[in-house]
Amino acid sequence: MIRVVVVDDQPLVRAGLRALLERGEDITVVGEAEDGSGGVRVVRRERPDVVLVDVRMPEMDGIEATRRIVADEELRGVGVIVLTTFDVDEHIFDAIRVGAAGFLLKNTGAEDLRRAVRLVAAGEALLSPSVTRRVMAEVAANRAVTRPELVATLTDREREVLVEIAAGLSNQEIGASLFISPATARTYVGRLLTKLDARDRAQLVTLAYESGLVRPGGR
């Protein structure tokens, strides 16, 4: 059973997320909180597999809550998905920076929401293609960062895989796109994490844009 904590300052949103998540027989919501500080406490108490946290909340926002959860060694393995109302949100970049496993729009459909939770619980980052391209490209364009040296040591195949990761594809989808097995795709992701000294898959997306390998507005 995948254990989830929901952190959002709106009771109706929390109730809606709980209802949608628990329609999946393999998902249960084990705790809720209305702000970031409360969310961190609940996560430390419950040790869930996944946390859904709103990016904008009073007292402590979702970015700081994510940072504290990810930085806590005792919470290693807890994946954080940041929720946002806006498809282009400057705070998303910060969420990725502090270690969020991914992000979703609050109007994401029920099936996609449950799929996201399952992916993150399985150790994959959730970088929804429909949001990733717009958000990361927008942020990359605003920051105007180009550091080609970041990917200078990569092989051609590793660069191809990194481009697919930046597009928000899962290992299975990368395998289908590049005509390799999902296991081989996972191996390449592991190599990229090591070579680029990246904490997680989400950070690989940031590096793909910062290096200029993926450009705003296209792959």
pLDDT greater than 70 at residue 140: no
Angstrom distance (rounded) from CA 107 to CA 198 = 30
- Residue 104's pLDDT is what? 85
DSSP structure string for 136-152? HHHHHHHHT---GGGGT
User: What is the radius of gyration, based on Cα positions, of the chain?
Assistant: 17
E strand intervals along 1-101 = 2-7, 27-33, 50-54, 79-84
- Residue 163's pLDDT is what? 93
Is 82 part of a structural domain of the chain? Answer: yes
Last residue of a domain, one of 92, 123, 154: 123
pLDDT, the chain, mean: 86
Last residue of a domain, one of 99, 123, 147: 123
Last residue of a domain, one of 123, 147, 165: 123
Angstrom distance (rounded) from CA 202 to CA 128 = 11
Here the CATH number for the domain that contains residue 199 is: 1.10.10.10
Q: pLDDT-based confidence at 219, cuts 50/70/90?
A: low
Angstrom distance (rounded) from CA 190 to CA 74 = 23
Q: pLDDT-based confidence at 100, cuts 50/70/90?
A: confident
Helices 11-21 and 110-121 meet at what angle, rounded to 10?
80
Name the 3-class secondary structure at 35. Answer: coil
125-137: pLDDT as tens digits: 666 555 555 555 5
Is 185 part of a structural domain of the chain? Answer: yes
Q: How many domains does the chain have?
A: 2
Angstrom distance (rounded) from CA 32 to CA 9 = 10
Q: Percent of the chain beyond pLDDT 90? A: 52
Q: What is the pTM of this model?
A: 0.73
Q: Are residues 117 and 143 in the same domain?
A: no
E strand intervals along the chain = 2-7, 27-33, 50-54, 79-84, 102-105, 126-127
Which domain does 171 fall in, by range?
139-211
Here the CATH number for the domain that contains residue 119 is: 3.40.50.2300
Q: Are residues 97 and 165 in the same domain?
A: no
- Residue 107's pLDDT is what? 86
DSSP state of 75: G
Angstrom distance (rounded) from CA 13 to CA 1 = 22
41-92: pLDDT as tens digits: 999 999 999 999 999 898 899 999 999 999 998 998 899 999 987 655 567 7
Q: Are residues 100 and 189 in the same domain?
A: no
Distance from the first to the final alpha carbon of the chain: 36
186-205: pLDDT as tens digits: 999 999 999 998 877 777 88
- Residue 96's pLDDT is what? 73
Work out whether the CA dihedral 37, 41, 46, 50 comes out positive or negative: positive
Q: Are residues 21 and 66 in the same domain?
A: yes
